[in-house]
């Protein structure tokens, strides 16, 4: 039975939830396939996550390996393949906690960086799991700055081998997933030396554990790096190499090669080495960032119509907390953001597919734009969504803080996305570098990618809005964002030039502008997100009910951004104080409008109770029963603690002085 | 041996670290006592936290009980008493993870709300630990809104007892610490009924577990609420009551009483019932909020001078990450905030002591101001500091995400402070209500507390700053904050009145203003914090070296606030766009100045390595060695996982299809 406070929310939906779900999925057929995958996974007890919040790091790891192995069997049975339509839904359905994700990245690096011969040798072995792969790039002392990696690979011409070494502690590989306990092989990134000359970082396939008994290979020290904020299931590992020899053929050599005589040959851009990271950066956004924020919204919004607290009107019963403006203002902008980023993800996928096709033809021209955008959006989206999940958690008060709400684990996991695959500040500065370059080029009349032509085209001016309703016009707010982003980039470019012209060295000048550069890069991505949301709504013309509510969400996303970053819009007077009051009024007016559809809007994400794994977020809203039943299953309630006999009893039964 | 990158930071301190420490402690004598307490605690292996990051919830609970019992013994041995000068340092030295904290609150409620007779009966028992107390207020369905509590206590005139009941699941007590597994007694807050009439919420002492064998008393259902984001050591509990009878004398009756014939008599304000929460709210700020943020700054700043990444100048070695402007801009404002809140804590303590003295004389006049301020500052400080710790964590990249850095547990713990002892939004709105009332009163010429007279006194105007140096004048920025806070309160009061005059009902109008009211309340507390910091620096005249660096931190705290909340300062043109550029310039200029003293500034907090419990934050900065050594001790590295035999071996040794 559904909690009546929740049931009533579904009766007044202004649109068809089922149609919205299908549209989000990209069509009813996709919805059907997704649900079939979810059903197959969730009906299988091996994939259950019911005890997850009670498990230790060791138990989580074991369950993850078991699931990964079982998944192979299951896929075989059900005829699911890596290229089939089901594949992309599997991971979402498993909701994390599965091993061998790095095995996929291991394979992807070989496919991307390996010669045809290497692909032919390693990919079948990996596909058949006759080895388990990992990806050893990050070191204890070196993360984002790949050129600084210290692991060495020296070519020994006499044996035709590379000798790999970890010359000091900071060079120890640290963090690679699946490496602490599972992997038999890994791709090690190391500085290549031939005849004493360093050729920079290159990837080498290295076996680290015996295929017979899984013992560490000679010269290898490896293990688990210990507890983290989340990812208990993943055996993130460390790896030290002492004179480990691999044959010449183990350097991935699609784009460069060390020939038997030690001659070094290169065919492509060295930047291609980093391309695996770019692909990972984009591929994580949907599963690791947007899905969690959708889940957090589902949990927090359902809970907020079940939880009642204090009285809005004297004499009435306590009010649903979602009826408070402050609660709406916490949650609804996050809901709007979840939609905004779902749409920008499509945009990024398209950008990526285009670039990938070009790259297959060895055309690397689009790489800088792809790199800049994937970096900037990765930073913007992960940061925004991490904060969104935290807001959802805090909006649920004490119950949000219980692991059983599902929110803490969503938060601690999404937080990592701000750090891995490129630390966000570093990424934003890479985007900024691209934007400044484009701004300079465009200002000098040179051609730049269409996405950034606006940088040199925007002129000073004032926002034309006359009343609060004008701010519900996408042209008005999109232009405000465009103006603001262009101004930030322009003014930072000017500061940079001023500093250089006043004699400050280029690198110092750059450093002195980085706070503002990062802000400008974020502003650009924020602008594109708003613009893309507005265009998506525009294209939706035929589906009236859905278009209406999407328009409201788009408005909310845009106005929330102006309200929360008022300074950058007010700064040059483009928006006046009086206009900012209109923005605020329109923004606050939207909250009760969207609040009416809040539950249908999260229902449309179509998460099952099992995938939410939350006592607060279930479809039926039986929050208190579920919390109580679940808490009783906690191992802490399974028997009396030995602490009673050992400590409490002596304390209570003796006078303190006798203890 | 100290890492030379860290050692060099200490050689150029612009002030005496030892003198700053003594000043922060309130004098050298306090420093001496604090260090003696820390030494006594940390040299005792029972109090070790070395394995904390590897322990399960059960292990953490047991260790916490063990420590609490051992502490009693230790205090007895060393002659430390609850009223002695050592007492306030014990908890800081233990750094959490100790049981029976609610026992203290149990005692405090009795001392506060109990009659002399009740104090004489219960306090000696509690002091001698012949019982273990808890404090059962929050319910599954009721937190902040105490009037909504559903637990009932019906007076039975025939037996002279109260009969306590949990009438439905949402009335179950939920969260009380020490109650899930340890407590024998608790103070239950319940709706008092006499002769069928409800007199509202009152506190009752209830025994829940046998003093003989610790089994649950008749009518009691209790247990642990399961895993949380942190506080694994605490047995937060649930409690259901079924016809549990307690004698008439068990209702705490300093301020009201049910007489034998059922007559209800009251002597004081009913609000006094909430006073325990006010005292707790203030008492947590120092230990639970400011100390953690100081630790996070210590860890992140020490790590940031040891970690090197990328090159600032071409051809040089990789730079310390603290030399990047973006890293300075992340960490140094948090450091400044730690100092700012340390000083505002003194201010709050003074306010509290004054009010407490009055209350002892049954004068409740100062209660509203104390309540409003303790609420607002609790909300501002916990929110600010939680975000500060998160920034520190993220600023350490991947290593910050490892539990071994110490940062995740600081974060997950401080986050709770935003929720417990009053959810922050609710608290801010209580402050706002007080401010609006004072503004109205002051505008009507009535007298208001000195702290809020400015509300009606501030006039429209412009900031007089002419260049960026003017923004290093405390009068300039303090006035900007004052102007901004007054404007937000004034304009929200105006909106509220407009709505009411246009026919919107009072409670609806209030709800429609709450987003802005919360913002206004925060602005007021922010203003007072800046003002108090500036006054503290002013008073420091005699200690030149320290005053200089404190002045820089005060400037940074203030300008960071303007830079990050630019919108509210620009809104009415009090600060112009050109002046905001000056603020930004002065703000960014301060970063490299304070960066020079960053390590000495965190050294002055005087945390030992054991109290930081962090591989990144140790005094010697041997970060990588410590991470590696510590990780090796992880239980995940103690033996080969059974997952190999069970899952990996069959996978690797068979073709997939045979699995």
Helix (H) / strand (E) containing A345? helix A325-360
Pull the structure tokens for residue A479: 């232009």
Please identify among residues 390-409 of chain B the ones whose CB lies closer than 8 Å to any CB of chain A: 390, 394, 397-398, 400-404, 408
Q: Do B223 and A631 touch (CB under 8 A)?
A: yes
Angle at alpha carbon of residue B103, lines to B98 and B107, rounded to 5°: 145
CA dist A327 and A321 (Å) reads 7
CA dist A583 and B515 (Å) reads 14
Question: What does the CA dihedral B376, B377, B382, B384 come to, rounded to 10 degrees?
Answer: 100
| Co-location of A205 and A284 in the same domain | no
How would you classify the pairing of strands B161-165 and B256-258? unpaired
- Among residues A223, A243, A267, the one where a domain terminates is A267
Q: Which of B128, B170, B571 sits opposite A570 (nearest CB)?
A: B571
Which CATH number does the domain housing residue A181 bear?
Answer: 2.40.110.10
Which CATH number does the domain housing residue A413 bear?
Answer: 1.20.140.10
Find out whether B352 and B374 touch, Cβ atoms under 8 Å.
yes
Q: Do B224 and A631 touch (CB under 8 A)?
A: yes
| Co-location of A281 and A257 in the same domain | no
Count A/B contacts: CB-CB distance under 8 Å.
Answer: 373
Find out whether B156 and B162 touch, Cβ atoms under 8 Å.
yes
Pull the structure tokens for residue A553: 């969400």
Q: Do A144 and B310 touch (CB under 8 A)?
A: yes
pLDDT at A655: 65
| pLDDT interval class at A538 (50, 70, 90) | very high
pLDDT at B107: 95
Give A1 to chain B, closest Cα distance, Å: 16
Q: Is residue A637 part of a domain?
A: yes
| Co-location of B223 and B296 in the same domain | no
C-beta neighbour count of A11 within 10 angstroms? 8
CA distances from B43 to B39, B69, B96 (A): 6, 17, 17
How would you classify the pairing of strands A244-247 and A237-241? unpaired
Q: Which of A310, A325, A566 sits opposite B567 (nearest CB)?
A: A566
Condensed to tens digits (0 to 9), the pLDDT of residues A127-141 reads 999 999 999 999 999
| Co-location of B32 and B57 in the same domain | yes
- Annotated catalytic, A629? no
Percent of chain A exceeding pLDDT 70 equals 98
Find out whether B509 and B494 touch, Cβ atoms under 8 Å.
no
**What 3-state DSSP class applies to A50?**
coil
CA dist A323 and A321 (Å) reads 5
Q: Do A641 and B397 touch (CB under 8 A)?
A: no
CA dist B277 and A218 (Å) reads 62
Q: Is residue B352 part of a domain?
A: yes
pLDDT at B270: 62
Q: Is residue A552 part of a domain?
A: no
How would you classify the pairing of strands B237-241 and B173-174? antiparallel
ipTM of the shown complex: 0.97
3-state percent helix, strand, coil for chain B, nearest multiple of 5: 60, 10, 30
| Co-location of A411 and A385 in the same domain | yes
Give B24 to chain A, closest Cα distance, Å: 31
Whose tokens are 């003796």? That residue is A654
**What 3-state DSSP class applies to B322?**
helix
Best of B98, B462, B647 to substitute, by most chain A Cβ atoms within 10 angstroms, is: B647
pLDDT at A217: 98
Q: Residue A316: exposed, middle, or buried by beta-carbon count in 10 A (0-12, 13-18, 19+)? A: exposed
Find out whether A510 and A362 touch, Cβ atoms under 8 Å.
no
Pull the structure tokens for residue A160: 């035709």
Q: Residue B377: exposed, middle, or buried by beta-carbon count in 10 A (0-12, 13-18, 19+)? A: buried
Closest CA to B265 of B187, B202, B205: B202
Pull the structure tokens for residue B72: 């009693």
Pull the structure tokens for residue B347: 């201010």
Please identify among residues 352-381 of chain A the ones whose CB lies closer than 8 Å to any CB of chain B: none
| Co-location of A255 and A355 in the same domain | no
How would you classify the pairing of strands B197-207 and B256-258? unpaired
Pull the structure tokens for residue B368: 């509203």
**Residues pairing with A186 in the sheet:** A206
Ordered DSSP codes for A446-491: ----GGGTHHHH---------SGGGGG-HHHHHHHHHHHHHHHHHH
| Co-location of A82 and A159 in the same domain | no
Chain A residues touching residue B408 (CB < 8 angstroms): 228-229, 412
Find out whether B571 and A580 touch, Cβ atoms under 8 Å.
yes
Please identify among residues 493-552 of chain A the ones whose CB lies closer than 8 Å to any CB of chain B: 505, 507-508, 511-516, 518
pLDDT at B241: 98
Helix (H) / strand (E) containing B479? helix B474-501
Q: Sign of dihedral through CA atoms A112, A113, A115, A120?
A: negative
pLDDT at A656: 62
Chain B residues touching residue A216 (CB < 8 angstroms): none
Q: Residue A568: exposed, middle, or buried by beta-carbon count in 10 A (0-12, 13-18, 19+)? A: buried
- Among residues B391, B418, B445, the one where a domain terminates is B418
Question: What does the CA dihedral B423, B425, B426, B427 come to, rounded to 10 degrees?
Answer: 80
**What 3-state DSSP class applies to A223?**
strand
B138 annotated ligand-binding residue: yes
- Among residues B418, B438, B463, the one where a domain terminates is B418
**What 3-state DSSP class applies to B172?**
coil
Q: Is residue A606 part of a domain?
A: no
Whose tokens are 């192979």? That residue is A72
Q: Is residue B119 part of a domain?
A: no
Condensed to tens digits (0 to 9), the pLDDT of residues A27-80 reads 999 999 999 999 999 999 999 999 999 999 999 999 999 999 999 999 999 999
pLDDT at B271: 65
| Co-location of A239 and A305 in the same domain | no
- Residues of B assigned a catalytic role: 421
Condensed to tens digits (0 to 9), the pLDDT of residues A458-476 reads 888 999 999 999 999 999 9
Please count the structural domains in chain A.
3
Chain B residues touching residue A227 (CB < 8 angstroms): 53-54, 402-404, 634
CA dist A358 and A346 (Å) reads 19
Please identify among residues 594-653 of chain A the ones whose CB lies closer than 8 Å to any CB of chain B: 624-625, 627-628, 630-637, 640-644, 646-652
Indicate the average pLDDT of chain A.
95
Q: Do B643 and A181 touch (CB under 8 A)?
A: yes
Angle at alpha carbon of residue A302, lines to A301 and A304, rounded to 5°: 60
The low-confidence residues of chain B, meaning pLDDT below 50, are: none
Q: Which residue of chain A has the CA closest to B215? A: A640
Ordered DSSP codes for A26-49: TSHHHHHHHHHHHHHHHTSGGG--
**Residues pairing with A201 in the sheet:** A191
Q: Is residue B248 part of a domain?
A: yes
| Co-location of A213 and A251 in the same domain | yes
- Region of poorest pLDDT, from A518-522, A613-617, B354-358, B616-620: B354-358
| Co-location of A291 and A250 in the same domain | no
Q: Is residue A307 part of a domain?
A: yes
C-beta neighbour count of B531 within 10 angstroms? 21
Residue ranges making up the domain that contains B297: 28-96+277-418
Find out whether A483 and A475 touch, Cβ atoms under 8 Å.
no
| Co-location of B407 and B285 in the same domain | yes
**Residues pairing with B216 in the sheet:** B209
CA dist B276 and B280 (Å) reads 6
Residues 6+ apart with CB under 8 A from B315: none
| Co-location of A290 and A408 in the same domain | yes
Q: Is residue A104 part of a domain?
A: no
Closest CA to B173 of B182, B162, B186: B186
The pTM is what?
0.97
Find out whether A310 and A319 touch, Cβ atoms under 8 Å.
yes
pLDDT at B458: 80
């Amino acid at each position: 039975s559904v909690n009546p406070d929740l049931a009533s929310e579904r009766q007044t939906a202004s649109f068809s939830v089922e149609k919205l779900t299908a549209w989000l999925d990209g069509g009813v057929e996709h919805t059907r396939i997704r649900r079939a995958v979810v059903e197959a996974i969730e009906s299988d007890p091996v994939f259950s996550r019911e005890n997850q919040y009670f498990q230790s790091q060791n138990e989580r790891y074991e369950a993850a390996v078991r699931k990964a192995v079982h998944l192979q069997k299951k896929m075989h049975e059900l005829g699911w393949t890596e290229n089939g339509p089901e594949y992309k839904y599997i991971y979402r359905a498993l909701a994390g906690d599965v091993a061998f994700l790095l095995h996929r990245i291991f394979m992807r690096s070989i496919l991307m960086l390996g010669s045809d011969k290497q692909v032919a040798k390693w990919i079948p072995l990996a596909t058949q799991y006759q080895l388990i792969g990992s990806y050893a790039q990050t070191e204890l002392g070196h993360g984002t700055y790949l050129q600084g990696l210290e692991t060495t690979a020296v070519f020994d011409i006499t044996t035709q081998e590379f000798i790999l070494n970890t010359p000091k502690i900071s060079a120890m590989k640290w963090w690679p997933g699946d490496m602490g306990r599972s992997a038999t092989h890994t791709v090690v990134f190391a500085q290549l030396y031939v005849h004493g000359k360093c050729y920079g970082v290159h990837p080498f396939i290295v076996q680290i554990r015996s295929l017979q008994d899984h013992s560490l290979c000679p010269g290898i020290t490896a293990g688990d790096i210990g507890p983290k904020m989340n990812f208990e299931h993943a055996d993130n590992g460390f790896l030290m190499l002492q004179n480990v020899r691999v044959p010449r053929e183990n350097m991935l050599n699609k784009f460069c090669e060390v020939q038997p005589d030690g001659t070094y040959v290169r065919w492509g851009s060295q930047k291609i080495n980093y391309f695996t990271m770019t692909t990972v950066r984009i591929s994580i956004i949907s599963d690791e960032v947007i899905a969690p924020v959708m889940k957090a919204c589902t949990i927090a919004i359902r809970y907020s119509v079940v939880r009642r607290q204090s009285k809005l009107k004297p004499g009435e019963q306590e009010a649903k907390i979602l009826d408070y403006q402050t609660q709406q203002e916490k949650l609804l902008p996050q809901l709007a953001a979840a939609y905004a980023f779902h749409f920008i993800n499509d945009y990024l996928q398209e950008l990526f597919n285009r670039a990938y096709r070009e790259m297959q033809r060895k055309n690397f021209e689009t790489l800088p734009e792809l790199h800049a955008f994937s970096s900037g959006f990765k930073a913007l989206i992960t940061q925004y969504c991490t904060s969104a999940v935290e807001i959802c958690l805090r909006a649920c008060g004490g119950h949000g803080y219980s692991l059983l709400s599902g929110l803490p684990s969503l938060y601690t996991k999404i937080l990592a996305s701000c750090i891995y695959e490129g630390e966000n500040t570093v990424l934003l500065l890479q985007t900024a570098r691209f934007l400044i370059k484009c701004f300079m080029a465009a200002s000098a009349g040179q051609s730049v990618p269409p996405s950034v032509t606006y940088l040199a085209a925007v002129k000073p001016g004032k926002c034309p809005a006359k009343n609060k309703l004008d701010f519900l016009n996408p042209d008005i707010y999109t232009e405000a964002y465009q103006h603001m982003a262009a101004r930030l980039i322009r003014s930072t470019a000017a500061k940079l030039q001023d500093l250089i012209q006043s004699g400050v060295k280029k690198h110092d000048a750059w450093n002195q502008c980085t706070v503002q550069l990062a802000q400008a890069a974020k502003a650009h991505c924020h602008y594109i997100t708003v613009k893309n949301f507005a265009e998506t709504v525009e294209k939706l013309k035929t589906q009236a009910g859905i278009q209406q509510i999407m328009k409201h969400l788009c408005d909310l996303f845009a106005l929330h951004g102006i309200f929360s970053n008022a300074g950058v819009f007010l700064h040059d007077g483009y928006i006046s104080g009086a206009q900012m009051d209109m923005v605020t009024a329109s923004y606050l007016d939207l909250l009760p409008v969207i609040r009416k559809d809040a539950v249908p809007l999260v229902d449309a994400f179509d998460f099952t109770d099992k995938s939410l794994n939350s006592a607060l977020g279930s479809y039926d809203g039986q929050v208190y029963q579920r919390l109580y039943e679940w808490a009783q299953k906690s191992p802490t309630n399974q028997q009396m603690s030995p602490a009673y006999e050992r400590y409490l009893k002596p304390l209570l039964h003796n006078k303190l002085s006798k203890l």
